[in-house]
Structure 1
Amino acid sequence: MKNDGRAFYVIAYDIADNKRRAKIAREMEALGARVQGSVFEAWLTPAELKKLTTRAAKVLKADEDSLRYYVICEACRAKIQTQGKAKTTPPPDLMIV
């Protein structure tokens, strides 16, 4: 986890219904960056993760859909390899209020 409480997540989904898929995609786009069709990277606080999982639970059908959250530690994040135009999502800028 970063000092501001954020952790780096890779979030992937496989959702059978177009309407449910669109709702989940909107939730993901509000908090993270789409890196593949159904894969997102996001820096989330525990509260943001809880909010996301709670909202997703209201949309998903447990017997038809799959949503996975992978937390990636700093040491493992440093080892991510990409090819082509792929870039790993950078940490959010620090904001001092």
Structure 2
Amino acid sequence: MSTPTRHLYLAAYDIREDRRRVAALKMLRGYATGGQKSVHEVWLTEAEKRRMLDEIVWLIDDSTDRFFLLRLDPRQRTLTLGVGEAPSDPDFFYVG
């Protein structure tokens, strides 16, 4: 059985209400390998991406909140500032 391919995404949100913002942060940290504040680096298979998008739909108010998921081009060079580390796909993930 082959391992599903993961792709690197940036997930970002702007959520007005504290309770929903905290819930979104907690949910995204379950998928994230890095990031800060409201922008996170996430390595996702197609199934994980669908599950994450299904979860975020229940957490945001589409009249006031915003959520953005951008797949990054793996051919592009990663630039880091300060002591940042280039994103890498780890050998395993714990989601839960």
> By the TM > 0.5 criterion, same fold?
yes
Once the 2 structures are TM-superposed, how far is the Cα of residue 88 of structure 1 from its aligned partner? 2.7
Name whichever structure is richer in helix by fraction.
1
2:81 and 2:59 mapped to 1: Cα distance? 33
* Equivalent in the alignment of 1:90: 88
Deviations 1:28-78 (A, max 9, x none): 1101134121110011011111011001001100011111001012102xx
TM-score w.r.t. length of structure 1: 0.85
RMSD of Structure 2 on Structure 1 (CA): 1.7
TM-score w.r.t. length of structure 2: 0.86
1:73 and 1:65 mapped to 2: Cα distance? 26
Note if 1:24 corresponds to 2:24.
yes
Corresponding letter in the other structure for 2:89: P
Q: For the Cα contact (< 8 Å) 2:34–2:87, is it kept in 1?
A: no
Unaligned runs of 5+ in 1: none
Q: For the Cα contact (< 8 Å) 1:9–1:70, is it kept in 2?
A: yes
2:4 and 2:73 mapped to 1: Cα distance? 14
What is the aligned length?
91
The 5-angstrom pairing of residues 1-97 of structure 1 reads 4-76=4-76, 79-93=77-91
Unaligned runs of 5+ in 2: none
